[in-house]
Amino acid sequence: MIRIVSGLLIFVLAVATSPLGVMGLSFDASRAEARPGGGFTGGARPAPRPSGGAKARPTTRPSVSRPSTGGRPPQATLPSTRPAPAPRPSTRPAPSTRPANPSVRPPVGTLPSNPGATRPSRPGINPPPTTLPGGGNRPPGLKPPGNGNRPPNMGRPPGVKPKPPIHRPPGYRPPHHRPPGYRPPYHRPPYYRPPHYHWGNYYYHPSWGWFFTAALVGSTLVFTSELPSDSDCEKIVEDGETLYLCDGVLYRSTYYEDEKVYEIVSDPPDAPEPETVFGLSLTDPMTRGAVVRDLQQRLQDAGYDVGAVDGVFGSSTETALMWFQYDNGREATGMVDAETAALLGYENPNPPPPSGDTGPSDTGEEPQE
Amino acid sequence: MLSERNIAMSHLRKAATAGAVVLGLIGGLPAAAQTADPPDIDPRAAEIVDAAGAFLAEQDTVSLRWFVAYDDILDGREKLTRLRSGYSLLDREGGYFAYVEEGLNTRELYFNGTTLAIYDVEEDAYVQAHIAGGYDTLVDRAAQEYGLEIPIWSVLSTRYRDQYLRGAESATYLGLTRIGGQEAHHIALSNYDEDWQVWVATDEAAPHLLMLVGTNPYVQGWPQYRVYFSDWDFAPEIGEDTFTFAPGPDSERMTLPKPSAE
């Protein structure tokens, strides 16, 4: 009887929990409904999977004994492809710093009933309490200029202080005044620009301004298209030629490329010819003269390239001089000092005094031979 | 002061004189291309051009006005037109005078057989050079020694009298037309380097030039020069001091440098 009852009970349970009720597929489209997690439930889709995996796994693996050989190696022999977890920085204080007994915390019930009475006010919200500087709480914000002892307000009117009237003649305008909408004329641009490219390449010299060159028979002449406008020029007529002396620079009126231009004849006289070789170096404007020519000749005789022996101490002469000093164990300064002059064969190794005394100029003019 | 008008001056001396120089190109340059094909020269075109050149070379005195418009291509795209005009008076025995306007610049050229003077009217400045000889000598020495080009020098030169068509590889007679009410032959010529057109008056007694147009086919934009001739006079009145320059008391004499051969 017990067997019959138990068998009947098993049958009823089997029918009640028959998988047909679960596996039975229904294609009724009216069952489709939106789900908050996306997707839908419908007859064409199986029942939603439980979250967390594609397949519900048993919580515990069955303890099935496997053969020791074959299959997967033991877990311990698998190479670790993941780096060892680095120790995370602890943002929490060490446990040792924590109070051992949390009961030492202040009780919640000790909060004051009026927090604003005891807590400091937030900066910028409430004005700081009136405390003297250095006497306690520093006021928020930047310290105003001054020593803090501002004079009391004596009723100074607001705005800028009016200036006393200045009597000007009618029509007066301050310097560089331009009426509204002013545009500079085409011949006087607001910047200093070189002339037109009609003349080809231009170069700039601080004394001449913009100039250009022209290759002529036997020489290369330097021209400017106009005389300097910021200086008074003196007109000189000599031997049928017309010359202009402007700030010490001599210009010759020349007809070139169907235009009247000015050839620069001389250099400004503010560069006196040196009297001694001592102290010669590259200067602006370049030093020139017979002394420089003699220095160049000696450097060239010593096997150094000075460019042309033209009596102008230019960059080529400086380079040759620096190489000469370097090859002779001297510091390559590019300036003719006493030792360099002696190495170049100048007689007097002692340089003249730097003062303006006009001593004998035979210090370095005669060769040693 | 260097101004826009001045800027065009040197451009012009190449292109503008070239405008007037068309006849020089026609005859002066040797055949540039050694082509196997014989020159395609229309006999009638050759006859008209040669007659015009011979007629001008035979004139002892001649005066005319000319007007040149030439193109200046900027950046290979923008075409600007420059202008130059003037008046030329030639006496092959006495000298040469030219008045040239380009922009706001004015130049006067005086040549009396021994001295060439160029006068800058605006600047009241002049320059002189010693050149002895005739008009052809003036043209040669001014160009070789000083780099100066005489305006429309080739039209008045006798050098290319028999060589006008030497440089042309093709010449076509395009028919009759009118320029300013004057009937003219229209002839197109070309060679490897340049194309040009000539309009010659139909007056058989005086087949003078009326217009020249030259085209450079090798420059982007095909710049042209167009030269118009007018007021031809083959018996002008010439004063005694026409070809001699007399500087004013305040005139400024300039130097005339000689450019290098390069």
Task: Determine the 3-state secondary structure of B108 from DSSP.
Answer: strand
Task: Return the pLDDT at B16.
Answer: 41
Contacts A–B by Cβ distance under 8 A: 74
pLDDT value at position A37?
Answer: 41
Q: Can you tell me the mean pLDDT for A65-79?
A: 47
Rounded mean pLDDT of A71-91? 52
Q: How far is A264 from chain B, CA to nearest CA, in Å?
A: 13
B125 with A217: Cβ contact below 8 A: no
Does pLDDT of B146 surpass 70?
A: yes
Which of B7, B107, B262 has its CB closest to that of A196?
Answer: B7
Residue B73, pLDDT > 50, answer yes
Residue A65 has pLDDT above 50, yes or no: no
Query: Residue with structure tokens 């250099």?
Result: A267
Q: Indicate whether A42 pLDDT > 80.
A: no
Q: What angle do CA A98, A103, A107 make, to 5 degrees?
A: 115
Query: Bigger pLDDT: A51 or A13?
Result: A13
Shortest CA distance from B147: residue in chain A:
A257
Task: Answer yes or no: do B125 and A254 touch at CB < 8 A.
Answer: no
For an interface test with A, give the residue of B72, B119, B254 to mutate (most A CBs within 10 A): B254
Nearest-angstrom CA–CA distance, A162 and A140: 36
pLDDT of residue A146: 61
Q: At B76, which helix (H) or strand (E)?
A: none
Contacts of B136 (CB under 8 A, 6+ apart): B157, B158, B159
Are B125 and A215 in contact (CB < 8 Å)? no
Cis status of the peptide bond prior to A285, with omega within 30 of 0: yes
pLDDT score, position B74: 84
Please report which confidence band the pLDDT of residue A287 belongs to, taking 50, 70 and 90 as the band edges.
confident
Cβ of A253 and B253 within 8 Å?
A: yes
pLDDT exceeds cutoff 90 at B246: yes
User: In B, which residues are within 8 Å of A260 by CB distance?
Assistant: 120, 123, 125, 254
In this predicted model, what pLDDT tens digit does every residue of B43-72 receive, in sequence order? 999 899 989 988 988 899 999 999 999 999
> How high is the mean pLDDT of chain A?
67
Interface contact flag, B259 A217, Cβ < 8 Å: yes
Mean pLDDT of B247-258: 89
DSSP states of B190-256: E-SS-EEEEEEES-SS---EEEEEEE-TTSTT--EEEEEEEEEESS----TTTT-----TTPEE-B-
Give the separation between CA A280 and CA A145, rounded to whole angstroms.
56
Give the span between the Cα atoms of A243 and A231, in whole angstroms. 15
pLDDT digits (tens, 9 = 90+) for A109-121: 555 555 545 555 5
B6, B13, B256 ranked by CB distance to A255: nearest: B256
The whole-number pLDDT of residue A97 equals 52
User: Measured between alpha carbons, how far is B243 from A162 in angstroms, rounded to an integer?
Assistant: 75
CA nearest to B246, candidates B134, B123, B126, B86: B126
* Angle subtended by helix axes A315-327 and A290-301, to nearest 10: 50
Torsion of CA B121, B122, B123, B127, to 10 degrees: -20
Distance (Å, rounded) from C-alpha A351 to C-alpha A360? Answer: 11
- A209: alpha, beta or left? (left if phi > 0; alpha if psi -120 to 50): left
Name the average pLDDT for chain B.
Answer: 83
Query: Which pLDDT tens digit goes with each residue over B82-130?
Result: 999 999 999 998 899 999 999 899 999 999 999 999 999 999 999 999 9
Contact A255 B107 (CB under 8 A): no
**A164 pLDDT higher than 50:** yes
Q: Would you say residue A262 has pLDDT above 70?
A: yes
- Interface residues of chain A, partner chain B, Cβ below 8 Å: 187, 195-196, 198-199, 214-217, 221, 225-226, 237, 240-242, 252-260, 263
Set of chain A residues whose Cβ sits within 8 Å of the Cβ of B7:
196, 198
Report the range of poorest mean pLDDT among A72-81, A213-222, B6-15. B6-15
pLDDT digits over A228-252, tens only? 877 788 888 877 788 888 888 888 8
pLDDT at residue B26 tops 60 = no
Of A214, A258, A260, the CB nearest to B13: A258
User: How many angstroms from the chain centroid is the CA of residue B67?
Assistant: 10
Q: Which residues contact B221 (CB under 8 A, 6 or more apart)?
A: B71, B73, B76, B77, B79
pLDDT of residue A19 exceeding 80, the answer is no
The model's pTM is 0.49
Output A306 or A101, whichever has higher pLDDT.
A306
Q: Residue A224: its chain B contacts at CB < 8 A?
A: none
Distances (CA, A) of B228 to A335, B24, B66, B209: 67, 16, 5, 9
Task: Inspect the interface and report whether the beta carbons of B257 and A254 lie closer than 8 Å.
Answer: yes
> Cβ B118–A255 below 8 Å, yes or no?
yes
Q: What is the pLDDT of residues B192-203, one digit of tens each?
A: 888 889 999 999
Cα-based distances in Å from A102 to A23, A92, A107, A163, B204: 57, 16, 11, 74, 132
Phi, psi of A11 (to 5 degrees): -65, -45
Q: Between the ranges A203-207, B105-109, B258-262, where is the mean pLDDT highest?
A: B105-109
Residue B156, helix vs strand vs coil: helix
- Cβ of residue B107 closer than 8 Å to a chain A Cβ: yes
Q: Which residue has the higher pLDDT, B249 or A198?
A: B249
> In Å, how far are A156, A162, A163, B55 from A159, measured between CA atoms?
9, 9, 12, 91
Which chain B residues touch A194 with a CB distance below 8 Å?
none
Structure tokens that stand for B101 in this block? 């306007």
In whole angstroms, give the CA distance from residue B55 to residue A87: 111
Is pLDDT above 60 for A47?
no
Using a CB-CB distance cutoff of 8 angstroms, which residues of chain B are in contact with residue A196?
2, 7
The CA distances from residue A211 to A80, A192, B27, B262, in Å, are 79, 14, 40, 21
Assign A52 a pLDDT band (cuts: 50, 70, 90): very low
- Cα-Cα-Cα-Cα dihedral sign, residues B14, A210, B119, B136: negative
For residues B233-255, average pLDDT: 92
Per-residue pLDDT averaged across A297-326, rounded?
Answer: 86
Residue A123 has pLDDT above 90, yes or no: no
pLDDT(A313) > 80: yes
Average pLDDT over residues A167-171: 82
Is residue A310's pLDDT more than 80?
no
* Residue A226 pLDDT greater than 60, yes or no: yes
